Amino acid sequence: MPESLIAGIPVHFPFEPYPVQRAYMEKVIQCLRDGTNGVLESPTGTGKTLSLLCSSLAWIRTRQSEHQQQMVKMEKADFTGLGGGAAGGDLSELAKTMGRANNWGVPKVIYASRTHSQLTQAMRELKRTAYANMRSVVLGSRDQLCIHPEVMREQGNSNKTNMCKLRVHSKTCSFQMRVESRKDHPDLRGPSIMDIEDLVKVGQRLKICPYFASRELVPQADITFMPYNYLLDPKARKANKIELGNTIVILDEAHNIEKICEESASVQIKSSDVAMAIEDVTHIMQVFASGESQDMGGDEPKDFTLDDLTLLKEMLLEFEKAIDAVVVENAVEGTTFPASMMYELLGKANFTYGNVATIVSLLDKLVQYLLVASQQMTIRKGGTFTMLSDLLTIVFANKEDVMSKVYASFKVHVQLEEVKQGHGKQQGGKQHGGWLGKGTIAAATGSIKVAKIINFWCFNPGFGMEQLLNTQVRSVILTSGTLAPLKPLIAELAIPVAQHLENPHIVDQSQVYVKIIGTGPDRQQLISNYANRDNPKYISSLGQTILNVSRIVPDGLLVFFPSYPMLNKCVDAWQASGLWADISVKKPIFLEPRSKDQFTSTMEEFYQAIRDSKGAVFMAVCRGKVSEGLDFADRNGRAVIITGLPFPPLKDPKVILKRRYLEANRTRENQLLSGQEWYNLDATRAVNQAIGRVIRHRNDYGAILLCDSRFKDASQVQQLSKWIRGHLGDRPQCSPFGPIVRELRQFFKNAEANMKLPDERETDSPLETVCKTENEPIAAIPKVKREPGSNATFKSANESAIKVEMANSIKTWTPADYASAAGRKLGGAAPNAMDFMSRLDSNVSSIDFNCCMDSKSGSSGMVKIHKRERSSPTQPESSSQVSKKRYKLVENIKVEPSSSQVKEAPAERADFLRELRSLVTQDQFRRFGKALLEYKDGTYESFQALMVILLDVLSAPKVRYMLVGMRKYLKNEHKDEFDQKVGKL
């Protein structure tokens, strides 16, 4: 790959980087070199992820090389000081190997993004680079990685997590127990980059837990991929044991980072949750009182006592009473209180900083207990205890010495909860008194209590970033295609930033057509504000606009609406008026579904329609799945229509409180946005994200149509991405619909004539690890033809199936192959009976239909013939019986070397230690190193200790050649005894 010198660091890039990519990589390297933070914006399609990975890993590799050179100098010094002795050389190599295992003290990279699909795309980019051999690992949840059948049957991620913890604690998960013994297996630590699906496949093959196995790979990894919440959520960071000291944290797709930081510090609890928690505690107390706990838990002592349960129930009853006492003046929108109210509510129930850790521990134990109990009876699995634990953890995560900042940044909002019918009814009309009573039945007092929702909301994203910076990270890099304006973002996050960048786009002006459409074909104004969105004329004019554009735009057309209600309203109106049918005649229409399963199938159908050259229209919502993370490159998205500005709900309590917070805390020094500016920016950033779905690479082209007259306002234009503003000009105006139709038609005509067809994207062969054998060429599998612009995400499974089918098919099989298997040439004289009978004493051939060999060329076909010796003698009396030639189908497996091929240990000390490290476990290698150090003196006792370790570690037949190879590193007086001990094996 081409090498470029950027900021003094040699960077290997898949091609000669463009100027915007060089500028981006230079900023990244400066951040890493100086240990500073950066906020970098580069439009979607400029190779941002590729530039980010190559520059950061190039810097890491350079640092590793510098440390290795220092180790070489140390080795020379040690060699000179020890007089060049063999033992001294061994010790230097051992120290060198140990240093490599510890990454030479070089900082490591943590690459975080919003979703696992985005992480998978980043790992796919890494495979294309010269840094694909660097050690990497991806972290996922138990829901994604667990392969235990009983745990996977649990509903919900929380239940799966708790069931997994229970099985690990009780040592009843065989998959987890095998991790320690197989964590150094080559399949797990191999050179290939493994995403979530690859980890699961390796785990299933090795019968080990992918979740815990991936955690074992983290200490040696140069780069670790993980979702945002693993970093920003203190609970998740602690649960996953993520160490951030001296690390480089990269937050990709960081345009929503403020919201994620706020949400990680916010929590909600309902009256019904507290009531159900009281019922669950009561049930456990009843079990204890009746002695049924012996049936569920045996004679093993519990982690809690009846006194613990009594105290907890008393606290929960007081907490419920405190919530019931809260007066909600506005029954529709709820009532807002200062943050101190949350601490007052919990204080009335005696939840304090002093006892919160003990209570959270008790709640976790109760969850484990209920999981066991739910195996034998119908009972809730402790979900309410988990909610209470989260509440206490988040609320009391803020230290007492920063309470003034907490009171300024948090608010408590109380809403009324919808009461479900039948809630709180007595079963059998019987009520228990005392501590075994439910304690939540309002019917006993003759009044009905109104359930409430208590929201503890954070409006200062700086809380999450401050916790991240306090972990002594080396650098934090925030990057996305839509971060502008940068100053308010930096001010809200309260993060010191030394490097910032707003890159232009990589495409030419001629590749993008951007216009603001203020009126439809019928000259009706297009404006999707609150006053006009219900106007039938506006809805009809918008539909006519989409219809006319769909007749011009080739292939894929994306239409984004401000909200789901607006999308549904337009669809209903167009279906009633016939516009829907008119659009469908030209292109089939797909709607963004909300469920995960429907979403996948809908996207597959959309891409198939593009491949079938029908074209298609995809109608989706800003901030939805389609607008955030999917790739509509080339034919999949030739134009995008934005039907309106997706402002947050104006009367939403959270939106109102966020605007008030900004107004109250805004100063000239901190450069925070005003409430109205934030409100406008939130909508524009969602628009920028939706626009970014279309232009995905250097040779892509497409049209961007903003169908709302408000886009011409200066306040909205200034918040659009910098590259979009360049196309709109200094004073953008709404264009009449007629000229836009002519210009749009001409734009696509010119683009199709002048732009080259998109390059086919390379995909990794899923069969490479299955069919490949050493010293044996791989048969060429015909490349599956890809339509230009097809999406790899939804085609990989189809291509894998095709390749598997090809790998097991026989395309070049001829009668000559049967003749060859029988040991004669085709066309030769047929053997007589005696010749045939004599063949029974000769070698037998096995035909391998899965092997990648050609009978003619020996290299490019599909079949390979193996020979084996027939050892059984043939008696004369049995020779008269005619036997058929037997052909055996064998698997395409790696042929082990015969016993005559004795494998030898590497001659060089460095190679010897490197191979030894790959063959033994980390613990065994550590013991070997310690014994080798002690053998430096050359005493007989140290030799005996070394032999004990060698015989324990290297006595297995597969690694015995390494034991033999150790002989030349021993002193002469010990070699005879070494030979005797080895000879007895």
DSSP assignment of 785-818: P--TT--HHHHHHHHHHHHHHHHT--SS--HHHH
Residue 700 exposed, middle or buried by CB count within 10 Å (0-12, 13-18, 19+): buried
Specify whether the CB–CB gap between 111 and 138 falls below 8 A.
Answer: no
Name the residue among 824, 150, 42 with its Cα closest to residue 478: 42
Cis amide linkage into residue 485, ω under 30° from 0: yes
Specify whether the CB–CB gap between 132 and 126 falls below 8 A.
Answer: yes
Q: d(Cα 582, Cα 544) in Å, to the nearest integer?
A: 10
Reported confidence tier of residue 852, pLDDT bands at 50, 70, 90: very low
Reported confidence tier of residue 420, pLDDT bands at 50, 70, 90: low
Least confident of 656-660, 910-914, 917-921: 910-914
Specify whether the CB–CB gap between 866 and 891 falls below 8 A.
Answer: no
pLDDT tens for residues 322-337?
A: 999 999 988 888 999 9
Specify whether the CB–CB gap between 788 and 632 falls below 8 A.
Answer: no
Alpha helices for 823-866 (secondary structure H): 833-838
Instruction: List the structure tokens of 271.
Output: 């009256």
Specify whether the CB–CB gap between 225 and 123 falls below 8 A.
Answer: yes
Annotated binding site for ATP: 42-49
Q: d(Cα 629, Cα 253) in Å, to the nearest integer?
A: 9
Where on the phi/psi map is residue 207: left (φ > 0), alpha (ψ -120 to 50), or beta?
left
On the question of pLDDT at 407 being above 60, the answer is yes
Q: d(Cα 590, Cα 582) in Å, to the nearest integer?
A: 14
On the question of pLDDT at 403 being above 50, the answer is yes
Strand partners, 559: 619, 641
Reported confidence tier of residue 704, pLDDT bands at 50, 70, 90: very high
CB burial readout 568-590, b (16+ within 10 A) else e: eebbebbeeeebbebbeebbbbb
Reported confidence tier of residue 292, pLDDT bands at 50, 70, 90: low
* For range 216-236, the mean pLDDT: 86
Name the one residue in this structure whose structure tokens are 């010749």.
835
Alpha helices for 702-848 (secondary structure H): 714-717, 722-728, 737-754, 768-771, 792-807, 815-822, 833-838
On the question of pLDDT at 840 being above 70, the answer is no
Q: Which residue has the higher pLDDT, 924 or 38?
A: 38
Question: Looking at residue 861, what is its pLDDT?
Answer: 43
Name the residue among 746, 790, 785, 724 with its Cα closest to residue 556: 790
Question: Looking at residue 378, what is its pLDDT?
Answer: 59
Q: d(Cα 306, Cα 310) in Å, to the nearest integer?
A: 6
- Long-range contact set of residues 26-29: C-beta below 8 Å, sequence gap at least 24: 26/55, 27/499, 27/500, 27/501, 28/52, 28/55, 28/56, 28/59, 28/477, 29/55, 29/56, 29/58, 29/59
User: Residue 344, SS3?
Assistant: helix
Question: Looking at residue 762, what is its pLDDT?
Answer: 41
pLDDT tens for residues 868-890?
A: 444 443 344 443 444 444 545 54
Reported confidence tier of residue 830, pLDDT bands at 50, 70, 90: very low
Instruction: List the structure tokens of 747.
Output: 């734009």
Q: d(Cα 662, Cα 678) in Å, to the nearest integer?
A: 8
Q: How many helices, marked H, and strands, marked E, lie in the chain?
A: 43, 21
Annotated binding site for [4Fe-4S] cluster: 146, 164, 173, 209
On the question of pLDDT at 855 being above 80, the answer is no
On the question of pLDDT at 859 being above 50, the answer is no
Question: Looking at residue 111, what is its pLDDT?
Answer: 94
DSSP assignment of 450-510: PPEEEEEEE--THHHHHHHHTT--SEEEEEES---SHHHHHHHHT---SEEEE---SS-GG
On the question of pLDDT at 90 being above 50, the answer is yes
pLDDT tens for residues 934-958?
A: 777 668 888 888 888 888 888 888 8
Q: d(Cα 534, Cα 570) in Å, to the nearest integer?
A: 9
For the chain, the helix, strand and coil percentages under 3-state DSSP, each to the nearest 5: 50, 10, 35
**Distance from the Cα of residue 112 to its chain's centroid:** 8
Q: Which sign, positive or negative, has the C-alpha torsion 947, 953, 954, 957?
A: positive
Question: Looking at residue 338, what is its pLDDT?
Answer: 94
* For range 762-777, the mean pLDDT: 34
On the question of pLDDT at 458 being above 70, the answer is yes
Q: d(Cα 558, Cα 359) in Å, to the nearest integer?
A: 51
Residue 616: its H or E element: strand 616-621
Mean pLDDT of the chain: 77
User: Residue 116, SS3?
Assistant: helix
Q: d(Cα 132, Cα 518) in Å, to the nearest integer?
A: 49
Reported confidence tier of residue 47, pLDDT bands at 50, 70, 90: confident
Reported confidence tier of residue 490, pLDDT bands at 50, 70, 90: confident
On the question of pLDDT at 836 being above 80, the answer is no
On the question of pLDDT at 310 being above 80, the answer is yes
Reported confidence tier of residue 800, pLDDT bands at 50, 70, 90: very low
* Cα dihedral value 268, 269, 270, 274, nearest 10: 170
How many other CB atoms sit within 10 Å of the CB of residue 785?
Answer: 7
Helix axes 340-348, 306-324, angle to 10 degrees: 130
Helix axes 909-919, 86-101, angle to 10 degrees: 50
Reported confidence tier of residue 768, pLDDT bands at 50, 70, 90: very low
Give the N- to C-terminal CA distance of the chain in Å, as an integer.
50
Annotated binding site: 42-49, 146, 164, 173, 209
Name the residue among 669, 670, 229, 676 with its Cα closest to residue 490: 670
Specify whether the CB–CB gap between 528 and 711 falls below 8 A.
Answer: no
Q: d(Cα 485, Cα 719) in Å, to the nearest integer?
A: 7
Residue 591: its H or E element: strand 589-591
Question: Looking at residue 856, what is its pLDDT?
Answer: 39
pLDDT tens for residues 234-284?
A: 778 877 888 888 899 999 988 888 888 898 889 999 999 999 999 989 988
* Cα dihedral value 154, 156, 159, 163, nearest 10: 40
Instruction: List the structure tokens of 466.
Output: 């401050």
Name the residue among 150, 155, 206 with its Cα closest to residue 177: 206
Least confident of 373-377, 500-504, 678-682, 738-742: 373-377
Residue 277 exposed, middle or buried by CB count within 10 Å (0-12, 13-18, 19+): buried
Reported confidence tier of residue 848, pLDDT bands at 50, 70, 90: very low
* For range 462-477, the mean pLDDT: 84
Strand partners, 848: 864
Apex 159 CA angle, 153 and 163, nearest 5 = 80
